Amino acid sequence: MPFTIVIGTQWGDEGKGKFVDLLAEQQDIVVRYQGGNNAGHTVVVDDKEYKFHLLPSGVIQGKRVLLASGVVIDPKVLLKEITALKEKKYIINLGIDVRANIIMPYHILLDLAREKAANKPIGTTGRGICPCYEDKVGRRGVTFFDLIDPVRLQQRLDVIYPEKKALLEKVYNEQLLSSNEQIISEYSVYGNQLKQYLTDVSLELSQNSNNKILFEGAQGTFLDVAFGTYPYVTSSHTIAANAFVQAGIPSEKSMIIGVAKAYTTRVGSGPFITELSADNYNKTENTSDSANNALIGDYLRKQGAEYGTTTGRPRRCGWLDLAMLKESTRLNGFTALAITKLDVLSGLDEIKVCTSYLFQGKPLENFPHNAVLLEQCAPVYKTLPGFKLTPELIKNKTLPENAVQYLRYIQKNVGVPINFVSIGPERSQTILYENGVE
Ligand code: IMP
């Protein structure tokens, strides 16, 4: 099996970056295929922390890293990441698909203006992701092919710019500060600086089909534009099958690793059934103590440093939701699971796991296909005993029996072997279970 695909099983921020970095050692090529700098990956090596928004996490391992046609790229952000790594003497072996769409300044302004104007904002990252994808499918996008040729860029923008200016000014009452000429001259410089990295990812992957190739998913399954908690989703397909579409290669049987946090987090708006917050208490079974719920949510946020890598926003925290994990497995076809941040649960007396949902008081068989329906669900919980992970246990990679029981419970319910368990941010703080947790 030449392909490995790493996918977030929840709403993003599952800790995929650490796994991609870990797995990249055995790979020849690491490919990002969707999303943009709305993503944020943190990799910790020898106490040093690296944060990426665009570059695939495999870059630290010195691998060939590719940004496929489906990634939307803010050239300013990409250049900053390249410069930062070069300053640390990393060799960057990057290829960018010439078809990839560029996030332009008006995309960012439109993203922010829409959120400001909305009565129910999505809580986007404000990085221009949705307006850029809209332009891509609306055939108004600027690709790298346009960016590297000032004449072509001018021809594209002469058509696009007046529409964006009118939209911003007339509909949203916002100013597009740069003139068309200013944008062309600024972005032509970026094109010139990034030209050296351009490639045809589709062709390159076909020509290297004997290589080991890892696809690094961004965001998570429930942010998928079709199969997530629509409309509170991102604007790309985050599920595994999209890797092949965006890379432009035929699909093949692959190792598909679902990365799940040992609990659940979400940034931005939208339903979150197992959320541990004061105002979600009335939905939870057997819980009369809203303050206690909020306290556990705060505990997870603090222990897990649950603040967005991209925006710094505090993440909403809650119990693990197996109904989500099972649906995620159905959508992606996971062959293995990686459980991250198990150490964050350490110290709690008991741990709840949502096993299924009640819809209008009745058990629900299939996962709701829309946020409106999901909002009306209530969780059914199983309570498991808590555990304590001491620094000594972490160092020796030994788990207390209750922690193993928690993992076994997840594995049995989801029906996919847990092959990796992360108990700290370092590469070394990972336990491998080749045959699943026994
Ligand atoms: P957008 O992708 O910036 O349009 O934001 C749409 C939704 O996806 C918002 O709820 C964001 O918070 C969420 N989102 C986008 N990227 C990520 C990510 O990498 N991790 C977690 N949430 C994300």
User: Is residue 243 in a domain?
Assistant: yes
Residue 330 half-sphere exposure toward CB, CA atoms < 13 A: 12
- Write phi, then psi, for 88 (nearest 5 degrees): -90, 15
How far apart CA 183 and CA 171 sit, in angstroms, is: 21
Q: Please report which confidence band the pLDDT of residue 287 belongs to, taking 50, 70 and 90 as the band edges.
A: very low
pLDDT tens for 252-270 read: 999 999 999 999 999 999 9
Q: Are 258 and 332 in contact (CB under 8 A)?
A: yes
Ligand 1 nearest atom to the CA of residue 223, by list position: 8
Among protein residues, the one whose CA lies closest to atom 15 of ligand 1: 38
User: Is residue 438 in a domain?
Assistant: no
Q: Which of 38, 129, 235 to mutate to test the pocket of ligand 1 (most atoms within 8 A of CB)?
A: 38
Distance (Å) from CA 27 to ligand 1 centroid: 28
CATH of the domain at 157: 1.10.300.10
Task: Write out the two tokens for 44.
Answer: 């910790």
Confirm whether 224 is a catalytic residue.
Answer: no
Q: Are 234 and 129 in contact (CB under 8 A)?
A: yes
User: Is residue 211 in a domain?
Assistant: yes
Among the candidates 166, 194, 222, a domain finishes at 194
CATH of the domain at 214: 3.40.440.10
269 and 253, same structural domain?
Answer: no
Q: Are 49 and 41 in contact (CB under 8 A)?
A: no
Among the candidates 194, 228, 248, a domain finishes at 194
* Residue span of the structural domain in which 160 resides: 101-194
Task: Write out the two tokens for 26.
Answer: 């055995």
Distances (CA, A) of 92 to 22, 37, 147: 18, 18, 21
pLDDT tens for 87-125 read: 999 999 999 999 999 999 999 999 999 999 999 999 999
Confirm whether 47 is a catalytic residue.
Answer: no
Q: Please report which confidence band the pLDDT of residue 1 belongs to, taking 50, 70 and 90 as the band edges.
A: low
Q: Are 306 and 11 in contact (CB under 8 A)?
A: no
Q: Please report which confidence band the pLDDT of residue 357 belongs to, taking 50, 70 and 90 as the band edges.
A: very high
pLDDT tens for 397-431 read: 999 999 999 999 999 999 999 999 999 999 899 99
60 and 13, same structural domain?
Answer: yes
Distance (Å) from CA 131 to ligand 1 centroid: 14
User: Is residue 250 in a domain?
Assistant: yes
121 and 61, same structural domain?
Answer: no
Which of 60-74, 228-242, 267-281, 306-320 is the least confident region?
267-281
241 and 180, same structural domain?
Answer: no
> Ligand 1 pocket: which residues have CB below 6 Å?
11-13, 38-40, 122-125, 127, 129-130, 218-219, 223, 232, 234-235, 267-268
304 and 404, same structural domain?
Answer: yes
Q: Tell whether the model's pLDDT for residue 349 goes beyond 50.
A: yes
412 and 266, same structural domain?
Answer: yes
Nearest to 99 by CA among 50, 136, 154: 136
From the list 41, 53, 107, 237, the catalytic residue is: 41
User: Is residue 393 in a domain?
Assistant: yes
How many structural domains compose the chain? Answer: 3
Give the whole-number percent of the chain exceeding pLDDT 70: 97
pLDDT tens for 197-227 read: 999 999 999 999 899 999 999 999 999 999 9
Among protein residues, the one whose CA lies closest to atom 10 of ligand 1: 268
DSSP 91-122: --EEEEETTPEEPPHHHHHHHHHHHHH-SS--
CATH of the domain at 362: 3.90.170.10
User: Is residue 114 in a domain?
Assistant: yes
